[in-house]
C-alpha cells in the first residue's frame, strides 16, 4: 500500500491537482507492482493513500510539484527502482501534461494493517 504525498506550489492550477488525484492511484500502483504485491487493476480503499499539501511560506522548492511515494521494500521492487520512477514520471507527463515536477520513491522496511 503506497503512501503518496504531493507537495505543490499554491500557483499550480486546481484542475491539474484534480487530474493528478484521478490518475495517480493507478499509475503509482503500476509503478510499484511486484510479485509480492501484484496489481490487478481493481483498487480498493486503502490501496493507495494520497495526501496533498501546498508549500508553506518557509518551504523551499525549485519545482512546481514534488510527489513522494513510500512503498514497502521488496527485493523485486528495489532492484529496478530508478526504472520504475522514470517510467512513472513519463506516465504522469503523458497523462496530464505536467512537466515541472519530481518524484521521490522510498522503499522502507515496513508493515501495514487496516480495518476490513
Task: Write down the pLDDT at residue 112.
Answer: 77
* Structural domains present in the chain: 3-106 (3.30.429.10)
Q: What is the DSSP code string of 41-92?
A: S---TTSSEEEEEE--TT---SSSEEEEEE----HHHHTTHHHHHHHHHHHH
**Mean pLDDT of all residues in 66-75:** 96
What's the whole-model pTM score? 0.91
Q: What is the pLDDT of residues 10-53, one digit of tens each?
A: 999 999 999 999 999 999 999 999 999 999 999 998 899 999 99
Per-residue pLDDT for 114 more than 90?
Answer: no
Spell out the residues 6+ positions from residue 84 whose beta carbon is closer than 8 angstroms to its own.
31, 32, 77, 105
58-89 burial, b at 16+ Cβ within 10 Å, e below that, comes to: eeeeeebbbbebbbbeeeebeeebeebbeebb
Amino acid at each position: 500500500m503506497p503512501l503518496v504525498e504531493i507537495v505543490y506550489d499554491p500557483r499550480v492550477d486546481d484542475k491539474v491537482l484534480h487530474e493528478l488525484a484521478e490518475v495517480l492511484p493507478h499509475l503509482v500502483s503500476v509503478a510499484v507492482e511486484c510479485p509480492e504485491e501484484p496489481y490487478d487493476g481493481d483498487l480498493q480503499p486503502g490501496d493507495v493513500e494520497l495526501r496533498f499539501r501546498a508549500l508553506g511560506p518557509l518551504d523551499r522548492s525549485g519545482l512546481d510539484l514534488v510527489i513522494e511515494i513510500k512503498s514497502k521494500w521488496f527485493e523485486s521492487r528495489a532492484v529496478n527502482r530508478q526504472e520504475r520512477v522514470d517510467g512513472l514520471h513519463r506516465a504522469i507527463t503523458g497523462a496530464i501534461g505536467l512537466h515541472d515536477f519530481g518524484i521521490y520513491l522510498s522503499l522502507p522496511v515496513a508493515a501495514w494493517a487496516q480495518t476490513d
